[in-house]
């Protein structure tokens, strides 16, 4: 899943982000409602996790504005406010679920997947396809020409990011930021190593190349002409 976390507490954000990334999800984080609204507005996320109490504008008003702007992405509110009235306010503001802090990480992930299952599958929140290659973002199954392909979590995230940008050149810097969450140059060949492993699984057994290196620019995945 591709998830936007809008949370101002660094410790909570790190706990959630680390756990979701370990299971292969793609996480973006905003620490204010305004920054979160800007990211959420493009509609590219499967689900939003929104803290109820945020600096400046609170989470309720942020979600109300997103709904008014026709952003229909499912929203899970997080809050230390546990009263029934507060939960009702969250749902009335446009939230789809409400989880009280502190919470078990297993419950968080179960609720996120339940929200995504309610949504109709489409290329942005369900399955991705490039030629005969398909990737199901919910079941995490990858197939090419009907044959299953077993990927490690990082390989899955790498392929998912490429397929989300099918036909576009994806740079090494983009992959480091969005797949590894590096915002600096690590001076390693981690991208090249994982890309080589991915191509060995996705392309080599099938004889037709989908993932190509664009010399001096990055990588692109596209169906053969």
Residue 102 pLDDT > 50:
yes
Q: Where in the chain is the domain with CATH 1.10.10.10?
A: 127-221
Q: Which CATH architecture has domain 2-118?
A: 3-Layer(aba) Sandwich (3.40)
pLDDT band of residue 43 (cuts 50, 70, 90) is low
- Tokens 């080599």 appear where? 204
Average pLDDT of the residues in 207-212: 93
Question: What is the rounded CA–CA span in Å between residue 195 and residue 189?
Answer: 10
Name the phi and psi angles at 181, rounded to 5: 60, 30
Quick one: which H or E segment has residue 24? none
Name the phi and psi angles at 164, rounded to 5: -65, -25
pLDDT band of residue 222 (cuts 50, 70, 90) is very high
Residue 206 DSSP label: G
Q: Where in the chain is the domain with CATH 3.40.50.2300?
A: 2-118
Question: What is the rounded CA–CA span in Å between residue 217 and residue 225?
Answer: 21
pLDDT band of residue 46 (cuts 50, 70, 90) is confident
Residue 31 DSSP label: S
Q: Residues near 140 by Cβ (< 8 Å), separated by ≥ 6?
A: 24, 156
Tens of pLDDT, residue by residue over 163-207, are 988 888 989 888 888 788 776 677 788 899 999 999 999 999 998
Candidate from 72-81, 112-121, 124-133 with smallest mean pLDDT: 112-121
- In DSSP notation, 114-178 reads HHHHHSPP-TTTSEEEETTEEEETTT--EEETTEEE---HHHHHHHHHHHHTTTS-B-HHHHHHH
Q: Give, in words, the CATH class of 127-221.
A: mainly alpha
Instruction: Select the more confidently predicted residue: 55 or 143.
Output: 143
Percent of the chain with pLDDT over 90: 42
């Amino acid at each position: 899943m591709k998830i936007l976390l809008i949370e101002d507490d660094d410790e909570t954000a790190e706990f959630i982000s680390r756990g979701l990334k370990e299971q292969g999800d793609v996480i973006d984080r905003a620490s204010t409602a305004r920054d979160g609204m800007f990211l959420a507005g493009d509609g590219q996320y499967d689900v939003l996790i929104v803290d109820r109490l945020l600096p400046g504008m609170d989470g309720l008003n942020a979600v109300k504005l997103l709904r008014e702007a026709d952003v229909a992405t499912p929203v899970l509110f997080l809050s230390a406010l546990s009263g029934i009235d507060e939960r009702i306010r969250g749902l009335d503001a446009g939230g789809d679920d409400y989880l009280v802090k502190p919470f078990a990480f297993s419950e968080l992930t179960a609720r996120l997947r339940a929200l995504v299952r309610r949504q109709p599958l489409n290329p942005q929140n369900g399955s991705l396809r490039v030629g005969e290659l398909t990737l199901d973002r919910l079941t995490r199954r990858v197939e090419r020409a009907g044959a299953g392909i077993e990927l490690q979590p990082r390989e899955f995230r790498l392929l998912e990011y490429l397929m989300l940008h099918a036909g576009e050149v994806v740079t090494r810097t983009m992959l480091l930021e969005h797949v590894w969450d590096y915002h600096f140059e690590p001076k390693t060949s981690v991208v090249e190593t994982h890309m080589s492993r991915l191509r060995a699984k996705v392309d080599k057994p099938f004889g037709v190349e989908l993932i190509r290196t664009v010399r001096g620019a990055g990588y692109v995945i596209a169906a053969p002409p």
